Chain A
Amino acid sequence: MTETILKVDNVSKAFGALRACDRVSLDLRLGEIHALIGPNGAGKSTLIKQIAGNLRPDSGRIEFLGRDVAALDTVERARMGLGRSFQISAVIAEFTVLQNVVLAVQGARGTSFHFLRGALSDRAVTEAARLQIERAHLGGREAVRASDLAHGERRRLELAMALALRPKAFLLDEPMAGMGADGVAEMTGLLDGLRHEAPILLVEHDMDAVFALADRISVLDYGQIIASGTVDEIRAHPEVRRAYLGEEDAA
């Protein structure tokens, strides 16, 4: 059996009367892209936040690398190797591309408590950062401030930062949100190559990208997983067509 990296087991989370996550179970296995889809308000972001450690589940269990992470906060989970990107671009706006990725590299290496040497004068660190910048197709843009980047570039910068952590799993929340067709194609190509480095739990609204990339898909609706399976199984699933793909089919 393939190794399970991340396991969400019967997790529930309610906000008052709203059941944002209702007995959700899913797993992420080595080498795969597992897409999580569902309409707005289905509870995808709530689930991601619980996995990353921003929210505490009311009940259920989350295991990462075979370890119950209930007692760990976001920082400890990141250190364990959970590489995350946000739904809304979260980069350090005043920093350049290189500074942003160097920040991630020094986070991964635990070398942030040095006061006198230059952050950008350590060759080993900057080389590691440049490598990830190249991989995210941002070569030549190292000295550009994040706030001056185009939207698609900023999303790839986030990916470069996640890559620099050398994570054991990626948690990507709508990496293609707001991108044009070219941007989506470029990001799809990038993510396709990443699954062998670390498995990806991908939340995404762009169905073409999801169907092109995912090994497995889980569908979330009103806080519940209503279907889980391969791309073909999901395409054929009647409840999924009704809940989520219906409009697309009619069009």
Chain B
Amino acid sequence: MGRETLLNAAIALGLVAVPVWAHLAGEPFIITLTTKAVILALAGVGLNIALGHGGLISFGHAAYFGLGGYAAGILAHHAQTFTPLMSAPFIIEGTKFMPVIWLVAVIVAGLAALVIGALSLRTSGVYFIMITLAFGQMLFFFAISWPAYGGEDGLVIYVRNEFPGLNTLDPIQFFALCYVILGLALWFSHRFGRSPFGLALNAARQNAERVQTVGIRPFRLRLTAFVISGMITGLAGALFADLNRFVSPSMLSWQTSGEIMIFIILGGVGRLYGPVAGAALFIALEHFLGGVSDYWLVFVGALLLLVVLFARGGIIGTLAGREVAHD
């Protein structure tokens, strides 16, 4: 087994060990904190597909995170106020049923990524970063100024949405649900990275002209990757809304986009467990340093600077070395 596989296994085990210990020790807050790390890691796994594999520096992934969150919040809002989401031409009711909420979140985020991607992928470099940021901010200001769903105040989900066979209000059960979803996303991300599509996408990141001369269109690869990326981040948004039982425009803000990007850079760009390691470290720092100082983000900034200057591969790259291509 390679060093990276061992490291990944250790991270995966650590993410289970902490909440199990907290459950036994009666520390529900720690479970919630780990769940938060898991959900943010999932958002990072989504962004990593566009950023790590595709080289698409999206500074607007909060858009998909927030859309997923609002999908959960709006559906739950209509279910708990017993008002239909839409009454003409046919009635659509709200729902508290997680699988339906997730499906809606993934579809909405995917459609948004399709439109935003189709427009912004015509540019590259700094322009791409700025356009994705602009779209994210558009949605942010739209959410703030739309009073129907709380505007600036956001939406409250009174009781966490339901999943058949589970009591989602029990922290450890909700954690397990999120952990399994992260596991599935990581499995997909692993297969994706080694698939023909992943190969072509990674090639297009390094040398787009070369990819064209073998008869593959980089734009189609990138747009597809961008949509998949947005869908996974959207799913994370729906879970995040349920974790907090609250959705607000801050989920759509550019700071959120930046945080998701920080997870990846801290953990290791393009590495399978990069976003997991990064999100876990970020939440740990928030927890431990946040208690010491209100300005804990200064330390994160310093750490980020160190990683960018001296450890480009992030946590995974530093501990596991260069990725093994194949035998």
Contacts and interface: CB of A to CB of B under 8 A. Distances in A.
B177 interface: no
Nearest to B325: A96
A94 B215 contact: no
Given A94-B206, A115-B197, A118-B195, A79 B215 contact: yes
Contact of A113 (B197, B211, B214, B215): B197
Contact of B213 (A84, A98, A118, A120): A84
Contact of B199 (A93, A103, A108, A116): A103
Interface string B176-219: 00000000000010011011111110110011011111111100
Given A113-B197, A113-B224, A108 B210 contact: no
Contacts of A99: 199, 325-326
Contact of A75 (B206, B215, B327): B215
A106 B212 CA distance: 12
Given A52-B213, A78-B213, A78-B214, A143 B325 contact: yes
Contacts of A78: 212-215
A84 B215 CA distance: 11
B210 A90 contact: yes
A145 interface: yes
B77 to A, nearest CB: 34
Interface residues of B, number: 29
A140 to B, nearest CB: 13
Contact of A93 (B206, B213, B327): B206
B129 interface: no
A114 interface: yes
Contacts of B214: 78, 103-104, 107-108, 161, 164-165
Contacts of A113: 196-197, 224
Contacts of A116: 188, 191-192, 195
A84 to B, nearest CB: 5
Given A99-B326, A120-B326, A112 B196 contact: yes
B287 to A, nearest CB: 36
Contacts of A164: 214
A115 B191 contact: yes
Interface string A153-178: 00000000100110000000000000
B230 to A, nearest CB: 15
Contacts of B198: 115, 119
Interface string A83-103: 010100011111110110011
A59 interface: no
**Max chain B Cβ within 10 angstroms of own Cβ: one of A86, A95, A119:** A119
B221 interface: yes
A51 to B, nearest CB: 12
A40 interface: no
Contact of A111 (B194, B196, B326, B327): B196
A67 interface: no
Interface of A: 52, 74-75, 78-79, 84, 86, 90-96, 98-99, 102-104, 106-108, 110-120, 122, 143, 145, 161, 164-165
20 contacts: A74-B209, A74-B212, A78-B213, A93-B206, A93-B207, A94-B325, A99-B326, A102-B199, A103-B211, A107-B211, A108-B214, A110-B215, A112-B199, A113-B197, A116-B195, A117-B191, A117-B196, A119-B194, A119-B199, A120-B194
Interface of B: 188, 191-192, 194-200, 202-203, 206-207, 209-217, 221, 224, 228, 325-327
Given A52-B213, A75-B217, A119-B194, 17 more contacts: A78-B213, A78-B214, A79-B215, A86-B209, A90-B207, A92-B210, A96-B326, A103-B203, A106-B216, A107-B200, A112-B221, A113-B224, A114-B195, A116-B188, A119-B198, A122-B196, A165-B215
